[in-house]
Each structure stands twice: as structure tokens, then as C-alpha cells.
Structure 1
């Protein structure tokens, strides 16, 4: 790599955990290529692991969930000053506020930047005032980006149709990639004494947690014996957040086994029989689905943007209707009634799909392509 130009590259996001969890392989590749990597996020315990990779870190404070013109203007000015001071050669922005205000700050400092739209999220869930504000902010800011990357074609098409971003600036990544060597199926998958459905997500209503609970209730009324396990963490002050007391109530009723946040989900994926993700959130390509499929789990998910990119109905899992616990219960019942060999075959097909379409090497190729243009 000695003939390749060495750059100072910044990654800017709303939390260090997502940078470490989703982009660690990209960062390792860039460091191996000789680039200097700067992470700009709020402080988090996992920052120590980011630093151990050989990156540097600068802490910034902002709330990605609330739009306040005064705090947002302050965030923009802080980024503008910071970018001028550290003067990176290229900046990758993730999530809404860095994509909007970070792109403006980079453009005004003459620094090339790339906006990565990992999903349209809560703001695009309904056409209300928030939607129109965010759309106008994106339209104004993303004009200054070198490229705008999406994780699925549907989100990219929406931005083109709404004239938010010109087509020539857009490219679509194969999700955020998955390290299929790290998320590898166990050599021998132990057979559970009780059939286990597993869900892993942020504890938001639109991720379909309540739908999963109600579907489990419906199946238990039919006297099926199974366990519904949920992994996840709560997001304080998020308008779509589920109250911890509600989850405790479901737990006490025996509807789910809530295990909280787990830094390493692989042991739980290895122990489950089927992965369930009934999301009606505006997903990019859900990382949880890629992890589950890579570990050869059959999947039940919704016929929803991003989700249907990972699951082919009847091949590596089932697609169900959004916000429909009855249809989800039907698909869970079908999984319960499948022969063990059929479940294994679905799992094999899922891993084949992830390896061929969503492997990390394909995402790394796109990052290197962008860097080569600087």
C-alpha cells in the first residue's frame, strides 16, 4: 500500500458504540492501509476499545433525537470550528445530525465529506412537520457532500424522487457489511429442550417488540411450548421508546425473557432456533438480520424496507405483514411445525445470501473507492 496516499480520515456519529460495532473492520482496514483515523462522537465506555485500535477520539455532545434550532446551531458551529482545527482530508458522517450539520461544516471548511444514510428512521415514519423539516435540512446540506450513500435502493429512490439529492451523488452500499468469519455458525448447534425465538434490537415500539410479545401471547393460547427471548437496550427520551416497566410486566406474565443489552450476541444466536424481527421502522439494512443469517438462523421479519433485502420468503425465512401480531403468530407457528432439517436448510440459505451479497469485503471496496478519489 506504499503507493497509496495516506489521509487523515474522520468518522462522525452519534455514538462510539455504533462506530466500533458496525465499522470496526473498515477502520482496521484503513489503519492497515496507513491512514490516520479520527473518531468524533459523544463519550462512551467503549471509546477505550476504539483507542486500542490505534484511532484518536474527540468527544462532542449532541442529542440526535430532538430538533432545537439553538442547540443545533451551536452543534453546527462547534463542528465547523473543530473541523477547521483538526483539518481532516475526508469525513464520513453517519445518522441525521452529523449528516446534516457535519456536511455543512465540512463544506464550509472545504473538506470533502460523505453522508451515509443508514436508515430513514423515526423522522420519515409519517409526513408531519418533523418530516418536512428534516427533508428540507437534508436537501440544503447534502448538496455539499461528495457522495451520499444508502443501504438500500428504496431509500435512495425516495431521496431522488423527493429531489433531496441529485442522482449523480448517490450510491448504494450492500448494507453496512458483516464479518462472516466473526459471525460464523457453531460447529454443532445444540438442540434446545424448548424451542427458542430470539429478538435483538433497540427497545422501540417501531422495532416491533410489542408485536412480538402479542404474537407470543397468541401462540401460548394455543398451548405451544416455546421461549421468546429479547435482547436490547432502552433509549431514554426517544419518542418511540418502550417503558422499562412495560417490559417488566411482559416478563412477569411469562411472555418474554428479557436479557438486556449484550455486547456479544453470538452465544445467544448460537443457542436460538429462529430469529424474529417484526420491524416497521424505516430500516436501512438491519444489522441484526445480517448477524442472524450469517450464523445460519432462519428468520421471520416484515415485508418492510431493508428487511426484505435480507430475507427471501420461504427460502431463508418468512416475511410477515407489518404491525400484524396475528400474521407474525402464524409465521412463528409455521416455524414451530417445520422439521429440523428444513430449519437447517433455511439457515444454510441465509448464510449463503449474506456471504454472496453482504460480505464486509464489498463494503470495504466501496470505502477504498471513495478514498482513492481524494
Structure 2
């Protein structure tokens, strides 16, 4: 069965989004899927998106959320917060039920998850077109070498086989497109729809006032320099290298300069308690704060009062959304040169690019900022303007609308 004419034109275009992690779970690819599809429905009333996801947070089995109809099925968590497998009987019954909904497209994201392996076939069975969205320009990473090797093997076999069979392939960044075509050998021409933000949600006006750190009940005066990391608190995010940079600065800076610095780590993950212990041992409790997971509103508040944003990530993860949010908030950005980050950050023009796993380069970049704050603010303003002009959910959604209608 082929796509019929009553699915286009002025008629409803129905999309089934199949994605393991979805609201209320938080994550980069989940946020992209949610924001782009929500914006598609907002911009073009012909589109209606249903979601089939795995129930990672004991949420309702059926829920209406941001104009999505969300269907959740039971699952098994194989690697905590990283890899899931659905209950196969629940999945089969739900797919049979949803097949009656006359979908035009079935969409999935991130090749590391099982839907990538079968969504293309399910779409063919129900007479729909398959849509895949890639995010990560590299093989799976994990601390355990065996898990990493198995992930790479699956990447180069099952995932590559499946990806060749999708009707549409989109990429969230240029580095991802280059990896798929150059390393995975994907021949189908892909379309880049850059990750984005809603620029109007971000500002920096609060830096000129007394600043209150969310979730900490701490007030900062205007002479303090707030240096922030926001994201998942995982080893692969390079958190330990930022901590080592803080220790370097403690030894290298004069006391009056050290006392001006406040570091914030915000996000969920397995390193929070370990970092708290290290902070206590180093006697830096007044200067280094671990805020745990913040609401999206509080993340925006934190970025609005931050002077510097550091992304010390040690693996290729595309283009982190927090970089866009920090840039739109006019923070000076210090980031490792990984994934597609150099599409956004031009060293010396829109921020500072540093090497991976290098605490020394992080500390040197922070010292440069302290000595060149006026020049750094010009770079931050350049980045903010670029983001607001080129990296928005509206632009990404328009790419999908133009290609799927």
C-alpha cells in the first residue's frame, strides 16, 4: 500500500513518533523530537503527531501532552538511563492497535535504540513512509569495553542495514551527516535540520542585578563571576576535567580573584554525590555548588545569571542543546571541539574551543576570560546573534514540513 492522496494537500498528515525516551524523561534527542514535532503542529495545522514511547518514569499509559497523544508501554532498563528494550508483547499489541490510525509517516530517532532496527519495516507494513533522524556523529561509548565493542558491532551491522531502508533521513547537525555518509556508508541523501531553541525564552538581563542561584538559596553580588555547567552529570560529559580545572585555578589564582569565582554544576546523574565529596575534601563548598536536576525554567534562570558556560564533554555528541541555550543567554562559552560544535563555535569569534580531556586548557580559558571580559562579551554577543538567526526550532520544523508535505 502506497501513500494515498488523501494524506496530503489540505488533509491531515499523521505522524507516529516511535522513541524510547520521551516526556517526562529528559535528554537531548528526546528534546529535539518533542520540540520539532510540537513546532510542526503549531506551524502547520495539517500535521498531527502521536507518540509511542517506553514507560521509563511510571507515567500514565495514555496521556495528552502538548497536542501529542502519548502511548507508553512497559520496558526493561538494560543500561540505566541509556538503553531500554520494550516488553515485546506490549509492543506488538500496541503496534497492531496503532496500525488502524492511517499514518502517513512513522518517525524514529537515534540508531542506538531498537526502533531504528524495525520502524522502517513497520512503516511499509502499514503503508506509510519511514523517517529517521540522526543525532550522534560517532559510535556508542561506554566505560565497559565489552559494551562499547558490542555497541560498535551493532552500529556497523544491524543499524547500518536498517538505515539504508528508510524513506527519509534527517540529521540534527552536519557532523552527524558526515559520519553517516563517510563511516557508516549511508548512500541516501540526508537533510540537515539543525537543533534549535526558542530564542525569546532566553535573556541575560538578570546579571546586572542581585542574582539568586536557583535551587541553592544563594545570592550573588554583581562582582561575582558565575561559571556554569548544565547537563547530565556523567563521566562522558567530562565533569571530572572541569573539577580538575577548578583545583588548578585554586592553586594558580590570587585569593581575591579566587573568591570572585562561583562554579555551578546542574543536572541529574551518577557523579553528583561523588562531586559533593570532592568539594568537601577540597574545602570549596562556598565556591562550588552542585544543584542536581533543575526544571527547564530554573535552567533558563541559571543561564541568565551566568557569565561563563563550560562544556567539557569528552565524546562526540553532535551539538548539545545547552550550548545554544547558554549562547542565547549571552554567556561566554568554553567548550571542547567535538561533534558538530565547531559549526557553532568559531574559536576567538564566538567562543573558546579547547581539547578533550584537558583540565589545563579549561583553566587557561577561564583565566583568559577573567583578563579579557570586554572582548569575551563581544564574542558572546556574536554567538547570541548567530543562534537567534540560524538555530531555532521554527527553522528546523520548516525543513521537515517542506520535505514531508
TM (normalized to structure 2)? 0.79
1:345 is matched with 378
Does 1:180 find its partner at 2:199? yes
Contact map agreement 2:267 2:293 (CA 8 A) in 1: yes
1:238 is matched with none
**2:199 counterpart SS class:** coil
Offset from partner CA, 1:231-259 (integer Å, 9 cap, x none):
1112xxxxxxx444312213423273110
Q: Quick one: distance in 2 between partners of 1:52 and 1:84?
A: 21
Contact map agreement 1:99 1:116 (CA 8 A) in 2: no
2:47 is matched with 35
| 1:188-199 correspondence runs (5 A) | 189-190=208-209, 192-199=222-229
Q: Quick one: distance in 2 between partners of 1:338 and 1:286?
A: 26
| 1:219-298 correspondence runs (5 A) | 219-223=249-253, 224-225=258-259, 226-234=261-269, 242-252=270-280, 253=282, 254=284, 256-263=288-295, 264=297, 265-298=299-332
Gaps of 5+ in 2: 1-7, 210-220
**1:92 counterpart SS class:** strand
**2:346 counterpart SS class:** coil
Of the three residues 233, 239, 245, the one matched with 1:215 is 245
Contact map agreement 1:150 1:284 (CA 8 A) in 2: no
Contact map agreement 1:213 1:256 (CA 8 A) in 2: no
1:313 is matched with 347
2:23 is matched with 16
Segment of structure 1 superposing worse, 188-197 or 118-127 = 118-127
Offset from partner CA, 1:41-100 (integer Å, 9 cap, x none):
23448889x724222110023457659999687687467535524442212212332333
Contact map agreement 1:192 1:271 (CA 8 A) in 2: no
Does 1:326 find its partner at 2:354? no
Contact map agreement 2:239 2:312 (CA 8 A) in 1: yes
Task: Please tell me whether Structure 1 or Structure 2 has the larger radius of gyration of its CA atoms.
Answer: 2
Contact map agreement 1:83 1:105 (CA 8 A) in 2: no
Q: Quick one: distance in 2 between partners of 1:79 and 1:165?
A: 30
Contact map agreement 2:272 2:292 (CA 8 A) in 1: no
1:24 to partner: Cα distance: 3.2
Change (3 A) 1:167 1:20: closer
Segment of structure 1 superposing worse, 18-27 or 322-331 = 18-27
Change (3 A) 1:69 1:249: closer
Change (3 A) 1:45 1:27: farther
Change (3 A) 1:366 1:123: same
1:153 is matched with 174
Change (3 A) 1:90 1:320: same
1:335 to partner: Cα distance: 1.1
Q: Quick one: distance in 2 between partners of 1:136 and 1:302?
A: 30
RMSD, aligned CA: 3.2
**2:52 counterpart SS class:** strand
How many residues align? The count is: 361
Segment of structure 1 superposing worse, 30-39 or 176-185 = 30-39
1:129 to partner: Cα distance: 3.3
